[in-house]
Structure 1
């Protein structure tokens, strides 16, 4: 997910995307960020249990 986020951010800054691609990547980025947050919280929960 982190790699996907980096690729999306790089593409968004490249200035080479079509309008459709730009729209798609702009919508995907918040979803990826949400997934990263969700997975991070789950990892923290599991690490506390393992403690």
Structure 2
């Protein structure tokens, strides 16, 4: 019973999970290849200071 519910949930949201997994993989690759940039808070503060709050 629980297995079929899990398959239904994953099946109905497969694209969402796939896109999220690709996003996380890209961020991890960036953090591994350029840790000086992607592990410091300054890059995120610079990004957030330019994004409008809506």
Give me the TM-score of the superposition, normalised by structure 2: 0.45
Larger radius of gyration: 2
Higher relative contact order (CA 8 A, sep 6+): 1
Structure with greater helix share of residues? 1
